[in-house]
Amino acid sequence: MKNIKIILLFIFLAGILPTCKKHPDGPTISLRTKKSRVMGHWDINKYLVNGADSTQSLLSRVSCATPIYFYQMDKGDKECSISCPPTTYRYSNWFFEDDKKILAFSNSDTSSVSYPPLHLSGRAKEHWEIQRLTNKEMWLKTTTDNIEYYIELKK
């Protein structure tokens, strides 16, 4: 009788767990927080604009292969920068929205020159839907002015 209860519990959990995913391509379960998975150095693996591969065009515009660096400052603010040695460009604060399904970026100086891909010039705030977020991969998607942007980042 005890074995039947264990088997039924296992079947019940197997049916429930796959529905816990917040992101379409995300992991079912992760032992690390979303904040800890986002923080760190990321390289651009793929960049699509309206489905067209624009990876090489983007990398030539930023004049380096990045990395994009997500970090948290001592005072608690979280910032994102692109590192193009010998210079690092701080270009955005980042935070989660919509139950951590959205990775948002804000920039108080919208007149400044901004580097793609995560902050589009002239906008105070950007919202990127998290498609996948693991320890080694982050896929993001947004639509701005009827243009869809999609980026795959790898650690």
Lowest-confidence pick of 79-83, 93-97, 109-113, 119-123: 109-113
More confident call, 23 vs 127: 127
Give the CA distances from residue 129 to residues 1, 23, 76, 120, 151, in Å, rounded to whole numbers and listed in that order: 46, 8, 23, 15, 11
Domains in the chain with CATH codes: 30-154 (2.40.128.280)
pLDDT in tens, 15-39: 545 444 455 545 555 677 888 898 8
User: Among 46, 44, 51, which residue's Cα sits nearest to residue 148?
Assistant: 51
Is residue 141 a contact partner of residue 49, using CB atoms and an 8 Å limit? no
